[in-house]
Amino acid sequence: MKYVEIPYVKNKVSRILYGTAAPPFMQGGDGNELLDAMYALGINTFDSARVYGKAEQSLGKWVEERGLRDQVVILSKCAHPDPSGRKRVNEKEIREDFAESAEYLRTGHIDIYLLHRDDPEVPVGEIVELLNAMHEEGKIGAFGGSNWTHKRIAEANTYAKEHDLIPFTVSSPHFSLAEQVQDLWGGGCVTISGPSNGAAREWYRSQGMPVIAYSSLSHGFLSGRVKSGEREKAGQILDEFAMKGYGCADNFERLRRCEELAEKKQCTVSQIAMAWIFRQELNTLAVVSTSSAERMQANIDAMSIRLSEEEAAYLDLL
């Protein structure tokens, strides 16, 4: 496993985070053995959110029972819109979300705390001031945005600099080889993949800000379960969200090229897709959910697969 340092996080952070937005965690099931397996592979950072069902409860139970609070990095998210779509980026609801997350995670401190969505109508200075206050209170370490545009993050960090405050130091947009052609879940999902988002990627390159890529295998589209030559079967294998977000002609061509290179390099399609992420000139980390230690080891091994500049461009239709 490879690790990076993120400002205001005590421990180094594994480049692959284990995502708990999956069974058995969201149902509140016992995921101890699965989490044990991920930790044994060197993954010390775990991704959750207030809206991931009972995932925080399952994760918190494991951390407490194993006595690992000082060894692991916990990431959680707040301020997701409610089921009606009402935005919740305000102090009252952010603090309420934190209190619930802290109770379920069985900790008074969340190492990385992200706003799950943005509300552009809220002055960014208010948000920066609030997150700095929560950091000063010892409640959170690093903070940032999930599904925030790079322009809003830049605005927040300009405010922080002008007022001698801690800036956003991490971001979690969608990022994968596949272009996200539609917002999967609504509420303002942000992607930095695809030809139209070159400016966003360039901004992240210039800043060196850690990018925690969610849906790094495009909600299963690049997992190898779907074959590029069997497009008519894709909807029977993947769920409606994967097809809505990624089931376009260009992405099937990207998939075909992954298959081609996987055969050439004697590895899997998902390993090629994961290797592509880490080949980019970004400070990239990836959230991965799997129920198999073997598949997670394959994702870890993908970080060592060498892709030339030409191969990486070829995969992305360039």
- pLDDT given for residue 188 in this prediction: 85
- pLDDT given for residue 49 in this prediction: 98
Q: Are 89 and 127 in contact (CB under 8 A)?
A: yes
Fill in the DSSP letter of residue 196. G
Q: How far is residue 307's CA from residue 272's CA, in Å, rounded to a whole number?
A: 8
Banded model confidence at residue 40, pLDDT cuts 50, 70, 90? very high
- What's the whole-model pTM score? 0.96
Q: How far is residue 271's CA from residue 264's CA, in Å, rounded to a whole number?
A: 12
Q: Average pLDDT of 167-173? A: 98
Task: Identify the residue whose tokens are 């497009």.
Answer: 231
Q: Are 229 and 260 in contact (CB under 8 A)?
A: no
Residue 142, beta-bridge partner list: 112
Of the chain, the percentage scoring pLDDT greater than 70 comes to 100
Q: Are 177 and 193 in contact (CB under 8 A)?
A: yes
For residues 147 and 182, the model is more confident at 147
- What's phi and psi for 64, nearest 5 deg? -70, -45
Distance of CA 317 to the CA centre of its chain: 24
Q: Average pLDDT of 10-14? A: 98
Banded model confidence at residue 184, pLDDT cuts 50, 70, 90? confident
pLDDT digits (tens, 9 = 90+) for 205-247: 999 999 999 999 999 999 999 999 999 999 999 999 999 999 9
- pLDDT given for residue 182 in this prediction: 87
Banded model confidence at residue 183, pLDDT cuts 50, 70, 90? confident
Is the pLDDT confidence value at 187 over 80?
no
Q: How far is residue 248's CA from residue 226's CA, in Å, rounded to a whole number?
A: 13
Please report which residue ranges of 119-239 form alpha helices under DSSP H.
124-136, 150-162, 198-207, 231-237
Is the pLDDT confidence value at 135 over 90?
yes
Q: How far is residue 102's CA from residue 59's CA, in Å, rounded to a whole number?
A: 11
- What's phi and psi for 182, nearest 5 deg? -145, 150
Q: Are 284 and 176 in contact (CB under 8 A)?
A: no
pLDDT digits (tens, 9 = 90+) for 254-279: 999 999 999 999 999 999 999 999 99
Q: Are 77 and 114 in contact (CB under 8 A)?
A: yes
**182-196 burial, b if ≥16 CB within 10 A, otherwise e?**
eebeeebbbbbbbee
Instruction: Tokens for 209, please give them.
Output: 């800000």
- pLDDT given for residue 186 in this prediction: 75
pLDDT digits (tens, 9 = 90+) for 95-131: 999 999 999 999 999 999 999 999 999 999 999 999 9
Is the pLDDT confidence value at 9 over 90?
yes
Query: Which helix H or strand E contains 77, and what residues bound it?
Result: strand 73-78
Smallest Cα–Cα separation from 56: which of 88, 37, 80, 84? 80
Q: Under 8 Å CB-to-CB from 278, ≥6 apart: which residues?
A: 15, 284, 286, 302, 303
Give me the domains of the chain, ranges plus CATH numbers.
3-172 (3.20.20.100)
